[in-house]
Every structure is written in structure tokens, then in C-alpha cells.
Structure 1
């Protein structure tokens, strides 16, 4: 997307009541996306279903695009805060825990995941959804790869930015294969893990590489 990073409108919720209102709104948005796709999002219906005045909803999010982006961003943030993800060892283990959690979320909410994936694959390069999904994947990967490098687990002289982009592409290629019917839904977690391991093993060394090779071998 170039140097410009897309920003999703954020509101600082200072009270439990405001936080609960945000949760209601974004839950309704995800339900509408699941039921009828992106085109099925109706801002007036979201306001009614979430018990928020239409004017207030527009003041908070501005547009239907903002609502979708906020719902996706919140879900990604929730995944990162899951106990087994946030509590994983920084570096390669945390990255793998995160990818596993994302894969499980796809299996748990396939209609929602399918709509978001289709929207991403159809979006132009400057669409903010590209940054929310692909951009965040790259940034998370880069952060964890840097940690692994600091721990002496990676080969030397890696271009972190380029490597993170390639690895993010590998992960999303599995989502594309599922979206196009080439991978069954229940096979998505294993396929994403296999793709991640095949990508990471050549970059790692020492004990970490041995651990990943053993993990790959257990997949069969």
C-alpha cells in the first residue's frame, strides 16, 4: 500500500456503558455481514438493532465502510488478546499461536470470514481493508520475527520487511484457497499451520528450527 497507513476511526470509550454500546454495534454489524454480506449492512438497521440513535452512529463511525472496518479490527484485536496468544512466548511461538487462533476463528464463523475474505480479494490496493488485514499481518509478523532474531533463532541478514510480507502472503493464500473451494473448512487450521511451518523452517536455525521441523513432521 506504500508508505501511507490506513487508519480506522477509533473512539476512546471511557465508561463500561460506552464500551457495551460499542460491543452491541459491532456485534450487529458482524451479524449483518454474516447474514447478507457487505452489501447487506444497513446503517439504519444497525442503529435500531443496537439501540443507538442514527445520528450517534454516524458520529461514531461515519459510514458503512467505517463500521465494517471497525468490526474487523475489533475481532483481530480480540484474537491477539486471547490468553493463549498473548501468553505465548514472544517471537515464533506467539506468531504461530496467533495464526492458529485466526484459523480457528475462520472455522467458527465461516460465513463472516468468507465475506471479509471476498471483500479483501476484491478491494483495490488503496482500500483500507487491505491495511487492516494484510498490513496488520505484516506488522505482527515483523514484530515477532524481530524478536526471534534478537533471540538468535533466525539466519542472519534477513530483510525483515520483505520477509514479513512474503510470510503474510503465504498465510492469506490458504484463505484464498478455502475461499475458492480448494480447501475444506475443517482443513483450514492444519493448512495454515503447515504453510507457516514450511515458510519459517528455512529462516530458522538451532533449537527453534528443530522444534518446527518436529512439529511439521507431526502433521504427517
Structure 2
């Protein structure tokens, strides 16, 4: 007898619909007026819901912001699976960076001010930052573990620590992009360069020449990147 998957109840459907209305309202407010425009009262008005409903569904403004980031991650994962399946682990590690950079750049009116606010300690909070960092690092860890299983990388270092190190480099590049110090191409190149250097620490002889050549190419890209101060910096603070 086949197991029948449980269907969401009408109440669950309505709750999820309200959650999505809140997230869409947050996107609209941030894109239109930056982080300073995002208050619970404005979110309630934009979403057509009561302030009490926002608190009941998310608990706080910071939790809404974290949910907005998580929603972005959830959108990225199926793109990763389509463009770089885990069976191609080094391509997967690269795609974790390139797909997310592309997603941020395509939605910069939303994510640029969020990154700046997060860096300034004005958004989401330390717990949310830790949760996001752990999830992002785990995406790299999965690729690294598969590459070790295929003999492409050595298992001499902890995949979790390598994933965290790659994420830290990505995070710095993301903040520089947020403040306008890097364009999208620079964001991508800097984050990939950090990833390649981390992987070179455990590269097998079979892939070391490929990774070294990739690092050299990224160095040339970084040399050509226009690093500039952003006249919009205060706008995003």
C-alpha cells in the first residue's frame, strides 16, 4: 500500500500565504527606501496585515529579515542542483559562489542594503548571522566531502573548517560589494579566489594544476577589477 503524503491544512496554507505577503512587503520596502524604511508598522501597512499578525508569525523584525535571507537561499538551491549537481563536486563548490553572487547582483536593491546593515550590526542579529554562516559553509562542505570521496581532494583537513574558511572569504567579498567597493565581477572573483586557495591546501595531484591555473586567472581578474568607494554608502547604512 503506497503511503499518501499529507496535504497542508487550510490553516497552514493561509499562514504560509501571510508569511509570503510579509516577505514581499519587506522586499518592496527595502528596494524602495532602504533598511530605514523597514518598520513593523510599515510592513503591516504594506502587507495589509495587522502588526500583531507580524509578531505572531515571525516574532520580530530581525526574524523577518532572516526569513528573507533564508527565502533567497531556498531559491538558490534548486539552481545549484540544476547547474552543478553534487556528482561534480568541484563545479558544485564554484557554483555555490557564482550562483549566489548572481542572485545577489540580480536583486541588489534588496540585498545590498541588507548586507550593509548586517555588517553595521543593525540587522538580523548575531544568532541569525551564525545560522546563515553555518548553512552557507555546509554547502561548501558537501562539495568538499564528495570531492574527497572521488579522490579529487585529500582528507587531511576538516571539511567543516574548510567550508567555514571559504564562507569567511565570501562574506568579506559580499560586504565589500555591499558598500560599493567591488562590482559584481569583483565580488565573484574575490570569493572564488578564496575558495580556490582553500581547496589548493588539500588538492590531489590530479586537480592541483587545474586549481593553480584557476587561481592565476582569478588574480588577473582581480587586478582588472575597479575597486572604488561608493557615493551611495551612507544611503545603505
TM-score category, normalised to shorter length: 0.7 to 0.9
1:132-143, aligned counterparts within 5 Å? 132-143=131-142
- Confirm or deny that 1:86 pairs with 2:85: no
Deviation by residue 1:153-190 (Cα, 9 ceiling, x = unmatched): 21232122322221111111212332344322443233
Deviation by residue 1:200-220 (Cα, 9 ceiling, x = unmatched): 233222444444445445555
Contact 2:153-2:199 at 8 Å conserved across structures: no
**Residue in structure 2 matched with residue 36 of structure 1 by the alignment:** 33
Q: Tell me the CA shift for residue 62 of structure 1.
A: 1.3
- Confirm or deny that 1:112 pairs with 2:94: no
Contact 2:34-2:113 at 8 Å conserved across structures: yes
Q: What CA RMSD, in Å, does the superposition of the two structures yield over aligned residues?
A: 2.8
Stretches of structure 2 that go unaligned for 5 or more consecutive residues are 1-6, 221-237
Contact 2:26-2:43 at 8 Å conserved across structures: yes
**Residue in structure 2 matched with residue 50 of structure 1 by the alignment:** 47
**Residue in structure 2 matched with residue 9 of structure 1 by the alignment:** none
Report how many aligned residue pairs link the two structures.
206
Q: Tell me the CA shift for residue 17 of structure 1.
A: 5.3
Stretches of structure 1 that go unaligned for 5 or more consecutive residues are 1-11
| Distance verdict in 2 for CA 1:20–1:193, change over 3 Å | same
**Residue in structure 2 matched with residue 5 of structure 1 by the alignment:** none
TM-score, length of structure 1 as denominator length: 0.78
- In structure 1, distance between residues paired with 2:68 and 2:9: 19
| Distance verdict in 2 for CA 1:136–1:123, change over 3 Å | farther
